[in-house]
Amino acid sequence: MLAFALAVFLLIITPGPGVLSTAGIGAAYGRGPGLSYVSGLCVGNFAVGLAVVTGLAAIIFSVPIVRNVLLVLSTIYLLYLAFKIATAGAKIAFIEAKSKPGFMDGFILQFINPKCYAVNTTLFTGFAFMADNLVMETTLKFMIYNAIWIPLHLVWLWAGISLHRLDLAPSTQSRINLAMAAAMVAVVALAIWSLL
């Protein structure tokens, strides 16, 4: 169980579309819209987890055309986000949106977020700790997952809200943007590899 909790922490703390967009929405719109967006991400993440646990995700991804279309759309979207982050220059580039995002934006993002599928598949199909009671193990995994997932996303939201208060040097801001973009590209590569 401890190995599962550590895996959740390490997989969620790394920058991906969910946490990067959470920080960006916090930076752009503040606490209210940020909390609404995180709520949508949370419910969307739970729905993806259920799809993985029930096998629905496996069925959907077993249809080559559906799998390929979702993979292409997700890859294009995530590479676009990485490009926007990398080319933001000296402006801190957590993902900025032009209108106030809300619950549905967060919910929908999880369905096109390959990291969400990769993480859920890794966590729910691995790290067995109650082989004799799969229902209890799955229930505990959902509880542990959310007990870590929710606070980590709230920390990213807080980071976004707090970021505009900092006065970082332009070169430091550019390096942060490039590192975040590289992390996004790594997430895309991991997602593609896990779906092949």
**Domain boundaries, given as residue ranges, for the chain:** 2-195
Of the candidates 140, 119, 148, 127, the residue with the CA atom closest to the CA atom of residue 57: 119
Q: In the numeric block, which tokens belong to residue 3?
A: 């190995």
Task: Identify whether the C-beta of residue 94 lies closer than 8 Å to the C-beta of residue 160.
Answer: yes
CA of 18: how far to CAs of 48, 76, 90, 131, in Å?
Answer: 13, 16, 23, 31
Q: What is the pLDDT of residue 28?
A: 66
Q: What is the pLDDT of residue 1?
A: 79
Q: What is the pLDDT of residue 97?
A: 47
Q: What is the pLDDT of residue 154?
A: 94
What is the C-alpha to C-alpha distance for residues 48 and 147, in angstroms, rounded to an integer? 17
Can you give the pLDDT of all 196 residues of the chain as single tens digits?
A: 788 888 888 777 776 778 877 887 777 677 888 899 999 999 999 999 999 999 888 887 788 787 677 667 767 766 776 676 666 555 555 555 456 778 988 898 888 777 788 788 888 888 888 888 989 999 999 999 999 999 999 999 998 788 656 766 777 767 766 776 676 677 667 656 755 6
